[in-house]
C-alpha cells in the first residue's frame, strides 16, 4: 500500500459515511429499520 491509495480509500469511506449517516442516526433512534433507512437514502439521491 502507498500513501495515495490510503488517501483514496479514506476519502471514499468518509464520503460513504456522509451519505449514510442520516440513516444510521434514524436507525439508532428507533425511527426506522435498517432496510427502510437505506431505501429512503437511496431513493432521495435519484433524480
pLDDT along the chain (47 residues), means of 10: 94 95 97 96 74
- Show Cβ contacts of residue 32 under 8 Å, excluding neighbours closer than 6 positions: 23, 26, 40
**What pLDDT was estimated at residue 44?**
75
**What pLDDT was estimated at residue 46?**
55
**What pLDDT was estimated at residue 3?**
94
All structural domains of the chain with their residue ranges: 3-44
pTM > 0.85: no
Name the grid cell of 12.
471514499
**What pLDDT was estimated at residue 1?**
80
Amino acid at each position: 500500500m502507498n500513501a495515495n491509495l490510503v488517501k483514496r480509500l479514506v476519502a471514499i469511506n468518509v464520503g460513504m459515511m456522509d451519505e449514510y449517516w442520516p440513516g444510521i442516526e434514524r436507525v439508532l433512534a428507533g425511527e426506522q429499520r435498517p432496510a427502510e433507512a437505506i431505501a429512503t437514502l437511496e431513493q432521495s439521491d435519484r433524480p
